Every structure is written in C-alpha cells, then in structure tokens.
Structure 1
Amino acid sequence: MYISPQEMEHVSKLTPFARYEYFIKRVANFGEMYALRRDEEWLLAELDGHKLFPLWSAEDFASKNAYGDWVDYKPVSIELDVFNEEIIPLISSSEYLINVFSVNQTSGFVVTHEEFMRDLSEELEKYD
C-alpha cells in the first residue's frame, strides 16, 4: 500500500492515540500490519520493564523506524490470520504489550493484546 509523503508526515505528527485509531482502521481495511524482524527474531522494545511488540500499519512507517539499534531489522508484513494464529499466542504467552505505531523509536500507544484484539474486532465488524 502506497503512503504519500504528506500522509506520512501528517500521521507521524498525530498523538499516539490518534495514530492507534488510524492503525486499527487501516489494518481492518487492508488486512495486514507490519513489524520489524531480523532473521527469525522479532523486534522487541522495552518500556518501564515491559517488553513491547511494535506494530505499524504500513511498510513505510515501519521502515522509517529501522535505524540506530534497529538498523538490522526489516519490515515484515503480517496478515490478520497469521497475526491471530502465530503472533497473538507469542505475545500472550510471553506477556508482551503491543506498541502500536511508534514514531522515531519512541513509544506509540501501548495496549494489552486483549485490548488490541477487542478494538480490532470492533472495527472489523464494520466491514462485514
């Protein structure tokens, strides 16, 4: 999915919660999200002693965060069924939180996997 430079700039300036809402709508509409991965290792961030699993709504947004300590990580598309079957069990069993749409490697909107799945399910119902 193409993201214009204007949209990139505009969305990046939104509040974390507004980026979260944007993310949920985009993922429900397009059926995929992006994370950063190096070989077989998912990128995990840390905040206040909690491990965070960062997610973005488009490859361009994820790529923009792959610098510094994260430079070796590459954006990976995750379709909704793969997310539900593989990623959610990993997040749940490891007690990770989900960091939605960080910008410049700073925290985005952080939620539990239950909150995330509830919000995404509610949005997906609008598309049925």
Structure 2
Amino acid sequence: MSTSETNLSAFSQAVIAAGELWVLSADDEFVVVDSIEFEATDVMPLFSKQANAQALCIEDWASYQPVAVKLEEFFEEWLPSLDEDKVLVAIDLDENLVGEEIEAFTLAKQLAADDA
C-alpha cells in the first residue's frame, strides 16, 4: 500500500469512527485553496479531527472556524457539488498546507469501502 493509500485509509477510518469530517468556514463561506499539484484547480481542505482543522485557523485564516459535516450530509450534499464544480479535496492538510489531493469520489469510494 502506498503512502497516499495509507493516508487516505487512515483518514477514512477516523472519519467513519467519528461519523463526521471537518471543514473551515467563516460566514457561510468555506476555505478553498489552489492545488499544488494541478494547474487551475481548486481544492477544499477536509479534516478528520477538529484539532487538525483548528490548527490552521491562524494568520490569513484566523476568521475561519472548524465546522463538522456529518457523513450523510457529505454524501448527499457536498459530494455532488464538489464533483460538479471539479473541486478536489485535500485530506488533513498540515501547517504548510500540504496533504493528499484527491477527487471527492475517490474519498467517497474509500469511505464506502471502509464502512462496508
């Protein structure tokens, strides 16, 4: 299993255990960043733990707060929107904004497989 697959699996298992994942939000707007891997591509950071999300609420993102998204809501509302807008997701970005960038449906498939 590659490091990328290991990170995705660990993220998926943590999110399933918690029943939610975390995003950063301020006034009904969510953090979206430029991809470091793909030109002209937006990426939405997702976090497996509130503390991971909170750690990035500094400097330019000081006005943002971690917001929990239930898995059911992620599948029903977020996933179709992310796919339609061609937005990738980044799982558990670190303080340097480095993390796995993947298609939202790749994450969805992993979540479904781990939850089976």
| The two structures share one fold, judged by TM-score above 0.5 | yes
1:33 corresponds in structure 2 to: 21
Does structure 1 retain, via aligned residues, the 8 Å contact 2:91–2:99? yes
1:4 corresponds in structure 2 to: none
2:114 corresponds in structure 1 to: 123
CA distance in 2: counterparts of 1:18 and 1:96, whole angstroms: 22
2:52 corresponds in structure 1 to: 61
3-state SS, counterpart of residue 110 of structure 1: strand
Which among 57, 75, 79 is matched to residue 66 of structure 2?
75
Judged with a 3 Å threshold, the aligned counterparts in structure 2 of structure 1 residues 65 and 17 are, in CA distance, closer, same or farther, namely farther
Deviation at 1:29, TM superposition (A): 1.4
Which among 82, 87, 95 is matched to residue 91 of structure 1?
82
Instruction: Quote the RMSD (CA, aligned, Å).
Output: 1.5
Return 5+ residue gaps in structure 1 as ranges: 1-14
Q: Give the length in aligned residue pairs.
A: 111
1:9 corresponds in structure 2 to: none
Which among 108, 111, 124 is matched to residue 99 of structure 2?
108
CA distance in 1: counterparts of 2:6 and 2:25, whole angstroms: 25
CA distance in 2: counterparts of 1:68 and 1:16, whole angstroms: 28
Deviation at 1:16, TM superposition (A): 6.0
Does structure 2 retain, via aligned residues, the 8 Å contact 1:19–1:101? no
Judged with a 3 Å threshold, the aligned counterparts in structure 2 of structure 1 residues 86 and 105 are, in CA distance, closer, same or farther, namely farther
Return 5+ residue gaps in structure 2 as ranges: none
Deviation at 1:20, TM superposition (A): 2.9
Percent identity over the alignment is: 23
Matched letter for residue 116 of structure 1: L
